[in-house]
Homo-oligomer: A and B are copies of this chain.
Amino acid sequence: MLGPLEALIPFGIPCRSRNFSDVHTPATLVRGGTSKCWLFQQVHVPADRGALEKLLVAAYGSADPVELDGVGGATPTTSKAAVVSASPASGVDVDYLFAQVGIGTGSVEWTSNCGNCATGVALYAVAKGLVPITGDRTRVVMRNTNTGAVLEGLVDTTGGVVHDFGEQTVPGTRAGGVAVGLTFRGPAGRTTGALLPTGLPAQDLRVGGADPVRVTMVDAGAPVVLVDAASAGHTGSEPLDAMGALVPWLRSVRHACAPELGLAVPGAEPGDAVPKVGLVGPPVAYTSTLGDRVTADAYDVSVRMLSMNAPHPAIGLTSAVAVAAAALAEGSVVARAARSPRDGRLRIGTPAGVVAVACEDVRDGVPGRVTVQRAARLLADARIYVPDHAAAPGSRRAA
List the interface of chain A (C-beta within 8 A of B): 3-5, 7-13, 15-16, 23-24, 27, 29, 31, 34, 36, 61, 63-64, 66, 68-71, 73-75, 77-78, 136-137, 154, 156, 158-159, 161, 163-169, 173-177, 179, 181, 343-345, 356, 358-360, 371, 373, 377-385, 387-388, 394, 396-399
Distance A84 CA – B385 CA, assembled complex (angstroms): 20
Contact yes or no, B358 A7, CB < 8 A: yes
Contact yes or no, A169 B397, CB < 8 A: yes
Contact yes or no, B70 A379, CB < 8 A: yes
Distance A74 CA – B168 CA, assembled complex (angstroms): 23
Listed by A's residue number, 14 A-B pairs whose Cβ atoms lie within 8 Å are A8-B345, A8-B358, A9-B137, A9-B181, A13-B158, A15-B163, A16-B165, A27-B380, A31-B69, A69-B377, A69-B379, A167-B399, A380-B382, A381-B382
By Cβ-Cβ distance, the 7 closest A-B pairs, closest first, are A69-B175, A4-B358, A382-B382, A169-B398, A176-B396, A380-B382, A4-B345
Collect the chain B residues with CB atoms within 8 Å of residue A71's CB: 29, 379-380
Collect the chain B residues with CB atoms within 8 Å of residue A394's CB: 174
Contact yes or no, A398 B5, CB < 8 A: no
Partner of A371 from the list B4, B10, B371 (CB cut-off 8 Å) is B4
Partner of A179 from the list B10, B161, B360 (CB cut-off 8 Å) is B10
Kindly report which residue of chain B lies nearest to residue A38, judged by CB atoms.
B380
Contact yes or no, A175 B5, CB < 8 A: no
Contact yes or no, B383 A380, CB < 8 A: yes
Collect the chain B residues with CB atoms within 8 Å of residue A371's CB: 4-5, 8
- How many chain copies does the complex carry? 2
Q: How far does the Cβ of A44 sit from chain B's closest Cβ, in whole Å?
A: 14
Contact yes or no, B66 A75, CB < 8 A: yes
Kindly report which residue of chain B lies nearest to residue A72, judged by CB atoms.
B73
Kindly report which residue of chain B lies nearest to residue A183, judged by CB atoms.
B5
Distance A24 CA – B24 CA, assembled complex (angstroms): 19
Kindly report which residue of chain B lies nearest to residue A396, judged by CB atoms.
B176
Distance A16 CA – B158 CA, assembled complex (angstroms): 12
Partner of A175 from the list B61, B179, B358, B377 (CB cut-off 8 Å) is B61
Kindly report which residue of chain B lies nearest to residue A169, judged by CB atoms.
B398
Contact yes or no, B5 A158, CB < 8 A: no
A5-B371, A9-B156, A358-B8 known; A176-B16 Cβ under 8 A: no
Contact yes or no, B70 A5, CB < 8 A: no
A4-B345, A379-B69 known; A398-B168 Cβ under 8 A: yes
Q: How far does the Cβ of A61 sit from chain B's closest Cβ, in whole Å?
A: 7
Q: How far does the Cβ of A290 sit from chain B's closest Cβ, in whole Å?
A: 10
Contact yes or no, A23 B360, CB < 8 A: no
Contact yes or no, A174 B64, CB < 8 A: yes
A71-B380, A73-B73 known; A166-B13 Cβ under 8 A: yes
